[in-house]
Structure 1
Amino acid sequence: MRKNEGTSKSKNPNLRTIEMLGKMAYYYDRIDDRWRTISYRKAITALKRQTDYIATREQAIGIPGIGERLASKVEEIACTNKLRRLESTVTDPNDRILLLFMGIYQVGLPTASRWIAQGHQSLEDLKAKADLTPNQKIGLDHYNDFLSRIPRSEVMAHAEIVRRACSNADAQIQLVVGGSYRRGSADCGDIDLIITKESASLEQIRTILVDTVIPQLFQDGFLQVGLATSRSRSTDRGSKWHGASALPGSQVWRRIDLLFVPWDEFGAALIYFTGNDIFNRSIRLLASRKKMRLNQHGLYGDIMRGEKRERITQGKLLEGRSEERIFDILGVPWRPPEHRIC
């Protein structure tokens, strides 16, 4: 719940270490190694708060959030100005190909590893020889589009087109741009649009979007393809539509997610879809320690758990509509989205 104040280039003496650990975190994120990604990002956050230069393993391991292995890497960077593991991600052929293949939409570590084992070494190999799903073919055709960062101004331009289409269908629909955009990032990986309507249910919102807004956006030439749609309330109560869009006159496709949220769950959904992921994990853990449960649908109280912390009761809804009220019930200071960077 600490306020994020970024990294001052003029004050923080550990910028080189932070930079190199950040590249490793990006590598592990790309190969979908969730736990190593989180570990590196926790260490980076801890180093950002240091006012002294951290040069030894002993110094690093004394900082909360930095474990033994990462402490050794901090010392290696301080002593050599290099990190052998980071260099290997560039020089090792399998690492390079793995990153290349995992840059394709809907390709994870198992699929990329299987393609390498089959002897594929390039995107051209995959186009010519691999058995690709329809979405993987789209991801391959628009490889650079989907991987490139989207400038903040372009995210807003996409959002405004969807906002106008929603308003034309129903003037009461509200739209908020989520993800890193809402946290104030200068660019984004994709476009997350959180859509709700006052006093409306999920089914009402979804009907307006799926039956009216989305077909119109396809007709207008803005939406290019639908990549995935979630309609089952039993498996995904928030419901989503995943696809790609392009601005008028542009050949560049961008990944866009339309997230349908019932009005009564809007505040909890804003927290969930704003992130970042470590902030969300932290606030959910805080709720758990207070015998509550927080997810994208709301904050619940009177949660009973067993010996291994398995949930015994679902609990009762305390708040879902208001972000501020959820923070208040948890007893922590309100943090605006731009401070939720861990």
Structure 2
Amino acid sequence: MATNAEIAGRFEEFADLLEADDVEYKPRAYRRAAENIQAHPVPIADRIEDGDEEILDEIDGVGDAISSKVVEYVETGSIEELEELRAELPIDIADITRIEGVGPKTAGKLYRELGIETLDDLEAAAEASEIQAVKGFGPKTEENIRDGIEFAREVGQRQLLGEARPLADDVLAFLEGLEAVERCEVAGSIRRWRATIGDVDALVATDAGEEVIESFVDWDSVDAEIESGPEKASIRVGEIRVDLRVVVPGEFGSALQYFTGSKDHNVALRNYAIDREMKLNEYGAFDVSDLEDAETGQRVGDRVAGETEAGMYDALGLPWIPPELREDRGEIEAAANGDLPELVAREDIRGDLHSHTEWSDGNTSIEAMIDAAAEMGYEFYGVADHAEGPGIVGGMGLPDTEILEQVEAIREVAAAADIEVFAGIEANVDAEGEIGLSKEVIDALDVIVASTHSALDQDAETATERLITAVENPAVDVLGHPSGRMLNERSGLDFDATALGSAAAEHGTALEVNSNPRRLDLWGSAVQAALEEGAPISINTDAHQPSTLEYMRWGVHTARRGWAEPADVINTWELEDLREFLH
């Protein structure tokens, strides 16, 4: 059964191919529809298959024409008009546009001029110096394309956390409903909340493994069975592979620890165990102090743990280590010393300081966004629409005069709101680190989020200096999505997170963990480096409509990967402390 993410992906492809074909206006409408379908909280295909097509009327940007295509896709697995467009432009548009600087229009031009359809075609043309001969291109562009091909191939094999985790939740809900399942959990990189994952791994404790496997491959949501056996099976749901492994209940904890990883964490933990005459593997924790050297095997020794994951760590005298920390970045030493952080949790978040409305590129009104934030139980909320500047899609940024008008509009709505509302702006950090706002505008605002949207190909030294210049600006409260990366699309700026964290700590500027699942920027290791320098962190959604305020889930887990505690995150602070920080 098609997921919301899968349906949205078809309309993203539609938009890309239309743009590649030089069609105006329609691509933006399709992208807006795709974003809203992706964010819709209810599985659309389920409702349509139950005969409830009216659910599409609830989705902003989905009119009659797009609705009919959604229904067509759910019912048939394809969209005739999209298939015709694919035949007209047989381009692997998703792969090719993952190369930074190659958008749909460029892909379309390269197809028309050189017949380029795939990454292999593109690589061959670049190696033969054919691209620089096309009008509008040159040797530097060709070099950049050549350099980006490896990155495009690598990310093309991974799924966004925000697309895969909802499926993982559905998998768990299905498995928990099976009578033969005693316990189940996801494992692998998705349990560690990595920004991208290869596939969804699930683990089940049961004494009826073959029965569970049979039910799993017969699940209604399965699009294809890849393989199955008595202990494991693999299926495909939409474009995502799901691997299931079944174990006996007494080995569930050890298997969960083993298959969660990471590999580096497990190697370090096994070495820690060896030093204490212990052995760890997927079958349990074993005391091997009395074994003869000749005795080998996975289950040899005195088994002292394995039923629970916490027991595996306890057998080594360690507290349970949260999955987000298991990357071999000092977590075992911290556990041994009693220094593991008390990680920030979703319930610690009191508000969101970076979101958008219809004043720039958002989809709804100021009032609707504030109401949605209040319904989430937030104590405060910040509107931060785009200011004018380079890199803003479609020129949707506000000039100074409109920013001042919006501040008045925000104040008017805020007067009747049940929560504290901050009037903000998302300013643009130019190539030199300046934000380009007038003093009058700066004085009128409560919060300024400064973000990079252009010149994202700078070298690391230049990028670091640029970002430090921005955080040193006394007007800037939060440095938004510092690298400017878009997962599976562009790598963004490379910079020294330690140096940036030090500057942010010195000047009282928060570094953002942008919760949009296409960004998750800062990422775990960068958050950890910044926190070690004393920098404050702000977790924000960059929401463009009420439903995407739920992106906070991804940002919180990303901050947890960086060892963030509640006190490190300004969104958890009391209002009085937050106001003092912002002013």
Interval of TM-score (by shorter of Structure 1 and Structure 2):
0.3 to 0.5
Pick 1 or 2: higher relative contact order, CA cutoff 8 A, min separation 6.
Answer: 1
TM-score using structure 1 length? 0.46
TM-score using structure 2 length? 0.28
